[in-house]
Amino acid sequence: MGSFRRAGWAAGAMAGLLAVVMTTPASARVGVPPPPTPLPHTPPTVEPVPEWVLAPCAAGAITTYGVRRRADGNAGLSMSGWIQPCAGLTPTDFLLIAYTADLGLPHLRSYQSLSEPTAVTITDAYLSGTLTGICVASDTHIRLACLKVDPGGPGELPVVAPTPTGDPRVLVPIGPVIRETDPTCGTCV
Protein backbone atom coordinates (compact mmCIF):
# COMPACT_ATOMS: atom_id res chain seq x y z
CA MET A 1 0.00 0.00 0.00
CA GLY A 2 2.93 2.32 0.75
CA SER A 3 4.19 1.96 -2.80
CA PHE A 4 0.80 3.02 -4.16
CA ARG A 5 0.85 6.08 -1.94
CA ARG A 6 4.39 6.96 -3.05
CA ALA A 7 3.38 6.45 -6.70
CA GLY A 8 0.37 8.73 -6.21
CA TRP A 9 2.50 11.42 -4.62
CA ALA A 10 5.05 11.07 -7.40
CA ALA A 11 2.31 11.36 -10.03
CA GLY A 12 0.86 14.39 -8.23
CA ALA A 13 4.27 16.04 -7.97
CA MET A 14 4.93 15.36 -11.67
CA ALA A 15 1.54 16.85 -12.62
CA GLY A 16 2.28 19.94 -10.53
CA LEU A 17 5.73 20.35 -12.09
CA LEU A 18 4.25 19.94 -15.56
CA ALA A 19 1.64 22.59 -14.76
CA VAL A 20 4.38 25.00 -13.64
CA VAL A 21 6.44 24.34 -16.78
CA MET A 22 3.43 24.75 -19.06
CA THR A 23 2.48 28.12 -17.53
CA THR A 24 6.04 29.49 -17.42
CA PRO A 25 6.90 31.63 -20.50
CA ALA A 26 9.38 29.94 -22.85
CA SER A 27 11.84 32.84 -22.44
CA ALA A 28 11.97 32.21 -18.66
CA ARG A 29 12.79 28.52 -19.02
CA VAL A 30 16.45 27.60 -18.67
CA GLY A 31 18.10 26.36 -21.86
CA VAL A 32 15.13 27.22 -24.12
CA PRO A 33 15.86 30.02 -26.59
CA PRO A 34 13.16 32.66 -27.08
CA PRO A 35 11.13 32.35 -30.30
CA PRO A 36 12.63 34.21 -33.26
CA THR A 37 11.47 37.76 -33.83
CA PRO A 38 9.63 37.91 -37.15
CA LEU A 39 11.27 40.09 -39.79
CA PRO A 40 9.24 43.10 -40.85
CA HIS A 41 7.37 42.34 -44.08
CA THR A 42 7.11 45.05 -46.67
CA PRO A 43 4.89 44.09 -49.60
CA PRO A 44 6.53 44.59 -53.01
CA THR A 45 5.70 47.78 -54.86
CA VAL A 46 3.69 47.18 -57.99
CA GLU A 47 4.07 49.71 -60.75
CA PRO A 48 0.79 50.61 -62.47
CA VAL A 49 0.45 49.03 -65.89
CA PRO A 50 -0.35 51.61 -68.55
CA GLU A 51 -3.78 50.97 -70.02
CA TRP A 52 -3.91 49.95 -73.61
CA VAL A 53 -6.61 48.56 -75.83
CA LEU A 54 -5.87 46.44 -78.88
CA ALA A 55 -8.21 45.94 -81.84
CA PRO A 56 -9.83 42.58 -82.57
CA CYS A 57 -10.17 43.73 -86.19
CA ALA A 58 -7.88 45.88 -88.36
CA ALA A 59 -6.22 46.13 -91.75
CA GLY A 60 -2.55 46.73 -92.35
CA ALA A 61 0.37 46.18 -94.67
CA ILE A 62 4.14 46.38 -94.92
CA THR A 63 4.77 48.46 -98.04
CA THR A 64 8.57 48.84 -98.14
CA TYR A 65 11.49 47.10 -96.45
CA GLY A 66 15.22 46.75 -96.81
CA VAL A 67 18.45 45.78 -95.10
CA ARG A 68 21.75 47.62 -95.33
CA ARG A 69 25.11 47.58 -93.57
CA ARG A 70 25.15 50.26 -90.87
CA ALA A 71 28.18 52.40 -90.01
CA ASP A 72 28.90 50.11 -87.02
CA GLY A 73 29.16 47.12 -89.41
CA ASN A 74 25.91 45.48 -88.27
CA ALA A 75 22.85 44.89 -90.42
CA GLY A 76 20.15 47.57 -90.19
CA LEU A 77 16.49 47.05 -91.05
CA SER A 78 14.23 49.76 -92.40
CA MET A 79 10.56 49.10 -92.96
CA SER A 80 7.38 51.08 -93.49
CA GLY A 81 3.73 50.23 -93.65
CA TRP A 82 0.41 51.13 -92.11
CA ILE A 83 -2.37 49.89 -89.84
CA GLN A 84 -5.99 50.97 -89.36
CA PRO A 85 -8.58 49.49 -86.98
CA CYS A 86 -11.97 48.47 -88.34
CA ALA A 87 -14.69 51.15 -88.27
CA GLY A 88 -16.50 51.59 -84.97
CA LEU A 89 -13.61 50.35 -82.80
CA THR A 90 -11.67 52.59 -80.40
CA PRO A 91 -8.37 50.86 -79.74
CA THR A 92 -5.46 52.87 -78.38
CA ASP A 93 -2.55 50.74 -79.54
CA PHE A 94 -1.26 48.14 -82.00
CA LEU A 95 1.79 45.87 -81.97
CA LEU A 96 4.98 45.45 -83.89
CA ILE A 97 6.12 41.93 -82.99
CA ALA A 98 9.75 40.83 -83.39
CA TYR A 99 10.08 37.02 -83.51
CA THR A 100 12.95 34.77 -82.54
CA ALA A 101 12.93 30.98 -82.99
CA ASP A 102 10.96 30.44 -79.78
CA LEU A 103 9.38 33.76 -78.71
CA GLY A 104 7.51 36.75 -80.09
CA LEU A 105 8.40 40.09 -78.47
CA PRO A 106 5.44 42.49 -78.90
CA HIS A 107 6.24 46.21 -78.95
CA LEU A 108 3.22 48.41 -78.23
CA ARG A 109 2.69 51.44 -80.43
CA SER A 110 -0.09 54.03 -80.34
CA TYR A 111 -2.54 54.74 -83.14
CA GLN A 112 -2.16 58.28 -84.47
CA SER A 113 -5.71 58.27 -85.88
CA LEU A 114 -8.68 55.90 -85.89
CA SER A 115 -10.15 57.36 -89.08
CA GLU A 116 -7.00 57.20 -91.24
CA PRO A 117 -4.15 54.68 -91.49
CA THR A 118 -1.37 55.05 -88.91
CA ALA A 119 2.16 54.84 -90.32
CA VAL A 120 4.35 52.00 -89.06
CA THR A 121 8.05 52.78 -89.49
CA ILE A 122 11.36 51.23 -88.49
CA THR A 123 14.48 53.14 -89.51
CA ASP A 124 17.88 51.43 -89.63
CA ALA A 125 17.20 49.26 -86.56
CA TYR A 126 19.90 46.82 -85.47
CA LEU A 127 18.97 43.47 -86.99
CA SER A 128 19.91 40.81 -84.45
CA GLY A 129 21.10 37.44 -85.73
CA THR A 130 18.37 35.71 -83.71
CA LEU A 131 15.49 37.53 -85.39
CA THR A 132 13.37 35.24 -87.62
CA GLY A 133 10.37 37.46 -88.41
CA ILE A 134 8.55 40.75 -87.85
CA CYS A 135 4.79 41.37 -87.98
CA VAL A 136 2.44 44.31 -87.74
CA ALA A 137 -0.44 43.12 -85.53
CA SER A 138 -3.69 44.51 -84.14
CA ASP A 139 -3.51 42.09 -81.18
CA THR A 140 -1.04 39.48 -79.89
CA HIS A 141 -2.45 36.78 -82.19
CA ILE A 142 -3.90 38.89 -85.01
CA ARG A 143 -1.04 39.40 -87.45
CA LEU A 144 -1.82 41.63 -90.44
CA ALA A 145 1.46 41.66 -92.39
CA CYS A 146 4.77 39.89 -91.78
CA LEU A 147 8.36 39.75 -92.97
CA LYS A 148 10.61 36.71 -92.63
CA VAL A 149 14.27 37.21 -91.81
CA ASP A 150 16.90 34.72 -93.01
CA PRO A 151 20.38 35.27 -91.55
CA GLY A 152 22.38 34.91 -94.78
CA GLY A 153 25.87 33.42 -94.94
CA PRO A 154 29.08 34.60 -93.23
CA GLY A 155 29.73 38.23 -94.11
CA GLU A 156 26.39 38.53 -95.92
CA LEU A 157 23.48 40.72 -94.93
CA PRO A 158 20.30 39.00 -93.72
CA VAL A 159 17.59 38.53 -96.33
CA VAL A 160 14.17 40.00 -95.54
CA ALA A 161 11.02 39.17 -97.55
CA PRO A 162 7.25 39.12 -97.09
CA THR A 163 5.81 35.95 -95.57
CA PRO A 164 2.27 34.76 -94.81
CA THR A 165 0.86 35.60 -91.37
CA GLY A 166 0.59 31.84 -90.73
CA ASP A 167 4.31 31.17 -91.36
CA PRO A 168 5.58 28.79 -88.60
CA ARG A 169 8.32 31.26 -87.65
CA VAL A 170 5.63 33.69 -86.35
CA LEU A 171 3.50 31.03 -84.62
CA VAL A 172 5.60 30.90 -81.44
CA PRO A 173 4.54 31.93 -77.90
CA ILE A 174 4.26 35.66 -77.27
CA GLY A 175 6.23 37.33 -74.46
CA PRO A 176 5.22 40.33 -72.34
CA VAL A 177 4.20 43.51 -74.15
CA ILE A 178 6.84 46.27 -74.29
CA ARG A 179 5.67 49.88 -74.64
CA GLU A 180 7.58 51.82 -77.25
CA THR A 181 8.29 55.46 -76.51
CA ASP A 182 9.85 56.30 -79.88
CA PRO A 183 7.46 55.85 -82.82
CA THR A 184 10.38 55.32 -85.23
CA CYS A 185 11.50 52.33 -83.11
CA GLY A 186 15.16 52.71 -83.96
CA THR A 187 16.23 49.85 -81.69
CA CYS A 188 13.12 47.72 -81.22
CA VAL A 189 14.09 44.85 -83.50
The 10s digit of each residue's pLDDT in 25-47 is 544 555 555 555 555 555 555 45
Q: Which residues contact 117 (CB under 8 A, 6 or more apart)?
A: 60, 82, 83, 84
User: Within a domain: residue 48?
Assistant: no
Q: Are residues 73 and 154 in the same domain?
A: yes
Q: Domain residues for 21? A: 1-29
pLDDT: which is higher, 106 or 38 = 106
Report the alpha-carbon distance of residue 165 to residue 16 in Å, rounded.
Answer: 82
| CA neighbor of 165 nearest in space, from 145, 148, 189 | 145
On the question of pLDDT at 120 being above 90, the answer is yes
Q: Are residues 93 and 138 in the same domain?
A: yes
Q: Are residues 91 and 25 in the same domain?
A: no
Q: Using alpha carbons, list the distances in angstroms from residue 50 to 137, 142, 179.
A: 19, 21, 9
- Model confidence at 129, pLDDT cuts 50, 70, 90, reads confident
